Amino acid sequence: MNKKVYTVIIGTGSYVPGRIIANDFFLDAEFFDPATNKRFETPNSEIIRKFFEITNIEERRYAETDQVTSDLATLATRDAIETSGIDPETLDFILFAHNFGDMIHGIVQPDLTPSLANRVKTKIGIKNPSVLTNDVTSGCPGWTTAMIIADAYIKSGIFKRGLVIGADVLSRVADPYDRDRMIFSDGAAAVILEAVESDVPVGILSHAFRSDNDHGMLNMAFSLNPDVPKDRLYLRMLGAKVYAYALSTVPGVVKESLDKAGLHLDNVRKVLIHQANEKMDEAILSRVFRLYGKREYDKNVMPMTIQRFGNSSTATVPTLLDLILKDKMEDHQIEKGDIIILTSVGAGMTINSIVYKMPE
């Protein structure tokens, strides 16, 4: 049998900021109603209680005031390099998925030049000038988008080894007057990829994706507080619309990725899904199971970190992967030969689903 080239993960790393922000942090916040642009009359304690019931987020992590996005990414990258045991000078490319550049504490304007991929290369100390550095902005699915791009790079035969990072500091771009800001958090994760020749499928087996022209669900907009000057934009989300969109579209994309790999849901050990809302993720998984004629679904298939970490956008899926592979999530393991799904949905709207088989 002829061997084919596959894209395989040989090392993972993550960085979860140490600054814990519990829900009580928002008791003194001023939340404005997006329908009226007036302050809610409902007490914040009630808003927070309902928020927790819907999302199951108890706390999230914020970067320290002296940290920027590329700092978090550098710490995650060093972890991935150590795990893989590679010489970073042997990397052919660095893809950095993020959405807002190096957000500096107290400054809303993003810092995007030079590219964050190039900044991480510098902070790691890589001297090789032949490393391709490129940023990917694709909402919360940025890391899965970057993984699909990396797979194309490697299977083209041009590149043999690469680094794919997902990192965001959402705490500094969310509208401080929007109750949905409680969803967002900060974090970073990274993987080292390598070309592997194999006569049996391994690594990235397939992927599916979808994009829709609806930019109003999650975008940049003026503050909900009409007294805030119209000289800056903040991250805003229509949570109910995102929820409905995800339920109607993500299950089909997940099934398409499995169909492309010639696999069934029964073959899947874990579904690592973007962490934005636990009830939404459970509803998505339930609908995936229904597509295969299953009325009941096994919640153990879908590990969750949202209760402690919130939504760190591009970092959520690779962070999940790293924590499980390093036995840092109780009751969840990924073994050799296991097939897993890596899937995300977010701004755009954009959806990606990757089928991945662990090397034997």
Tokens, residue 22 = 């519990």
The separation between CA 312 and the C-alpha centre of its own chain, rounded to angstroms, equals: 6
The model's pLDDT over 109-152, given as tens digits with 9 standing for 90+, comes to: 888 899 999 999 999 999 999 999 999 999 899 999 999 999 99
The separation between CA 4 and the C-alpha centre of its own chain, rounded to angstroms, equals: 29
Q: Parallel, antiparallel, or unpaired: how do β-strands 234-237 and 268-273 relate?
A: unpaired
The model's pLDDT over 254-307, given as tens digits with 9 standing for 90+, comes to: 999 999 999 999 999 999 999 988 999 999 999 999 999 988 888 889 999 999
pLDDT of residue 11: 98
Q: Answer for the pair 314, 167: CB distance below 8 angstroms, yes or no.
A: yes
Q: Which has the closest alpha carbon to 203: 242, 166, 233, 164?
A: 164
**For the chain, where are the alpha helices, taking DSSP H only?**
44-55, 69-84, 116-124, 142-155, 239-261, 278-291, 306-309, 316-325
For residue 199, the tally of other CB atoms under 10 A from its CB is 9
User: Hey, what domains does the chain have and what are their CATH numbers?
Assistant: 4-198 (3.40.47.10), 203-357 (3.40.47.10)
Q: The whole model's pTM is what?
A: 0.94
